[in-house]
Structure 1
Amino acid sequence: MFNRFRSMPATAMAVVLGCALMATAAPAAAQKKEKPKKEEEAKGKGLTASKGFAPALKKMTDATAAKDAATLQAALAEGQTSATAPDDKYLLGFYQLQLGILNKDQAAQAQGLDVMLDSGLTPPENLAVYNFYSGNFAYGAKDYPKAIKRLEAARAAGSTEANVPVLLMDSYLSSGQVDQGIAIAKTAIEASRAAGQRPSDELYVRPIKALQAAKRNDEMLALMTARLRDYSQPQVWRQTLFSVLQAAPAAGTPKEQESFTLDTMRLMRAAGAMTERLEYDEYSALASSDGLPGEAVAVIVEGEQKRIFPSADAKLAARRDDQKARAGNEASTIVAYAKQPSTLTNPKTAGATGDALVGYGHYADAIPLYQAAAKGAAEKDMWTYRLGVAQALSGDKAGAKASFGQVTGARKRLADLWVVKLDAASPPPAAAAATN
């Protein structure tokens, strides 16, 4: 039995898949684009310092205006002892934030933001940005419960920061709240698509890895299929189809499992996702074993032309020559044989003849044969699936979709992937997908 892909260790898919998500480097909490226009607005409207705190506050204000970090630090130390009222403490937090910005000290910035946010005195117009940066700092420190609290608050306050969904999703996933993280990701994905934008690949990759770790294979494959709508590069197809083979139950006879693997590799080839010699070796071996010399030869020749392996490769060259001899003039005679009434009235013969025609690239000629095969009781689902493939390869997009829509068995996932392939626009730049 051919089982190279099925026997791949579970960890191998994670390596192949990779993950683009990086811990976001939290920028200074008051970058120019986010800094309130007036310092008074950031401090809060209507705040009144207590009499005992006023001298320290003036020193903090003057030191901040002069960008004098040392003087500001001293003023903060003085203010710690005289801050008694809630307004005092909020202002102390504000100037601790300013010191953190001057010193590029994220820990100090985070502490200042905490004081301000926890006080309840932060102006509404600053809640989104302050909660975002506080959550961002917490995420970087791997304090995921705090990150969730702050990022949810930022979202509720109307934050437009692009990283909010990604950081919030990953905070939930990293804290073991898989369902919440996936819900955030799906909502953000559909929102991006509705806005005519391509979702961040991180919204797919991190949840896929979490679902894989949880052994929730059906959900994992559904999300990988959805990912291909936005990232249809060959390497993403490759990752997805490896996972389909890994997740496929080892049910049925060895011959049935080999047949499923062959159909999967056909889709991998159609998607331009075969990149290694071993794949061409197994594909051509499966086709040879299934009595499809034309397909076996075509696969090997394609690998040679793509320079995946040299034409002098001993093993594959020997198989190529052997299968070429077996094929003989079959390509020219099988089309005529396919039209004979006896071929069309026997579902099994019709299906096998359709397979042979597809192997030679006669996709349109294979369609009536697969239609005849699908009318038989045995293996109806497989023949319906292969009918869809022949229609897709012949350019009949509507017919292919209709056929794929009828597939309900083991090949349902492959049928769904073919529909995604048919709907896919031209692939986006390869560098955009998460492959590291």
Structure 2
Amino acid sequence: MKFTSTLALGIALALGGVSIAAAPAQAAQEEAKERKFNFSEKARPSLAELQKAAQAGDQAAFQTALAAAQAAAQNNDDRYVIAQFQLNNAIQTNNEDGKLAAIEAMIQSGGATQAELPTLYSNLGAIAYNKGDYAKAAQAFKQLLQLQPDNKDAMTNLAAALSQQGNPAEAAALVEQRLQAAEAAGETPPEGLYKQALALAYEAKSPKAIELTRELIAAYPTAQNWRDGLMIFREMRNPTGDANLDLMRLMRAANALNGERDYYELAEAANTKGLPGEAKAVIDAGVAAKAINATQPAFKDLLASASSKVEQDRASLPGLEKKAMASADGKLALATGDAYYGYGDYAKAAALYRAALEKGSIDANIANTRLGMALGLAGQKAEAEAAFKAVTGPRADLAGYWLLWLGQKA
């Protein structure tokens, strides 16, 4: 992240007994207004020399005159205008250290108006941040927030500086505060704000990160956001086996599989679970999306393995379905439902998942998750929602992501 400062200070001095007209930073006022300064008699000659050196563009003479003026300064107005000269010179010479020193001098002079201080602190924070002085940047943004508690940019920038100082938890709380303020005002927060809050919460290993992934996906349901959100969920909760398979299936349903690794992981997991039809379908989808090259050894071998089993596997399903319906428990019904799901026969899969739930002796949370998946893919949204809402325990969060997908489904 790089902040942009908004400095645009211009100075027109009329030394010799009258006044100085100063135009403070443009962002600090609607229009420049003439300001009267009360210079000390001791500082006037030095100020005149400083103005002369500035107009001549002679850096050596300017630095000499600057030191002399600083030594001669007696009051706030003296110090403030000297710092303005210093700042203009730093801007003209693109001297970042000089800008920082000048802005700090303007603030410390006591001569800056209340209207100017927010812009000065904003620029001080921006320049310090870009130089890597995050402590100074954070302090500047805190001062700005004291002056303007509702300044959204200051809140976000302070969060960034705190994060760079190794304090992601405090930074995350600040960005979340801005999110909540926007939502309370009936606004949709910018996508970048959600992402900043999520990145900070994830860095802090906060459980809030999972909630933020859902908020991001709900507001901005892009394929990339779906993938990022689900990958963060996986890294934080570490689902394995069936839970990871169902997470990858959701990634596929949300069109969020991205690249060879994702397609291979899902296809390999399905094939290992004895679902060759699903494994082949995933690889075929990857080829169609031009995301994978099926002639590569890993995909070629996996496709050959799955394809060799498909005909026999599919032919066995009617018999397995009959046995499952006659079985005393729901284990075979659940497994046969998985097979039908893999072949895209969601109606039969749903019927078998319902049978598995009725017969029992299975994990009801797995069955309800997959019942919701099958019904959702079959277009039965109300029934799918009921199934997902029946999921409890460790799978509840995963079911929550499926519910989010269901709500976005046309």
Is 1:327 matched up with 2:313? yes
Is 1:315 matched up with 2:281? no
Q: Equivalents in 1 of 2:56, 2:341: separation in Å?
A: 74
- Contact 1:67/1:102, CA 8 A, preserved across alignment: no
Question: Which residue pairs with 1:24 in the alignment?
Answer: 3
Question: Which residue pairs with 2:141 in the alignment?
Answer: 151
Q: CA deviation at 1:294?
A: 2.6
Q: CA deviation at 1:124?
A: 1.6
Q: Which structure's relative contact order is higher, taking Cα pairs within 8 Å and 6+ residues apart?
A: 1
> Which of residues 159, 163, 167 in structure 2 aligns to 1:169?
159
Which shows bigger deviation, 381-390 or 271-280? Answer: 271-280
Question: Which residue pairs with 2:221 in the alignment?
Answer: 232
- Contact 1:192/1:199, CA 8 A, preserved across alignment: no
> Which of residues 27, 40, 53 in structure 2 aligns to 1:34?
27
**Counterpart of 2:344 in 1: which secondary structure?**
coil
Which amino acid is 1:179 matched to?
A: A
Question: Which residue pairs with 1:141 in the alignment?
Answer: 131
> Which of residues 55, 77, 89 in structure 1 aligns to 2:79?
89
Q: Equivalents in 2 of 1:111, 1:288: separation in Å?
A: 65
Aligned-residue Cα RMSD (Å) equals 3.6
Q: Equivalents in 1 of 2:58, 2:375: separation in Å?
A: 71
**Where does the alignment leave 5 or more consecutive residues of structure 1 unmatched?**
1-21, 251-256, 427-436
> Which of residues 161, 168, 180 in structure 2 aligns to 1:178?
168
Is 1:417 matched up with 2:401? yes
Structure 1 352/69 Cα, relative in aligned 2: closer, same or farther at 3 Å?
A: farther
| 1:178-204: CA deviation from partner (whole Å, max 9, x where unpaired) | 321011111223445556444253653
- Contact 1:50/1:88, CA 8 A, preserved across alignment: yes
Which shows bigger deviation, 224-233 or 177-186? Answer: 224-233
Higher Cα radius of gyration: 2
**Counterpart of 1:391 in 2: which secondary structure?**
helix
Is 1:347 matched up with 2:340? no
Question: Which residue pairs with 1:99 in the alignment?
Answer: 89
Is 1:267 matched up with 2:250? yes
Question: Which residue pairs with 1:359 in the alignment?
Answer: 342
Structure 1 163/79 Cα, relative in aligned 2: closer, same or farther at 3 Å?
A: same
Q: Equivalents in 2 of 1:325, 1:95: separation in Å?
A: 84
- Contact 2:5/2:126, CA 8 A, preserved across alignment: yes
Question: Which residue pairs with 2:18 in the alignment?
Answer: none
Q: Equivalents in 2 of 1:279, 1:326: separation in Å?
A: 27
Q: CA deviation at 1:83?
A: 0.1
**TM-score normalized with structure 2 length:** 0.80
Note the 1:214-229 alignment, pairs <5 A: 214=204, 216=205, 218-229=207-218
Q: Equivalents in 2 of 1:341, 1:321: separation in Å?
A: 28
Identity score, percent: 27
Which amino acid is 2:406 matched to?
A: L
**Counterpart of 1:411 in 2: which secondary structure?**
helix
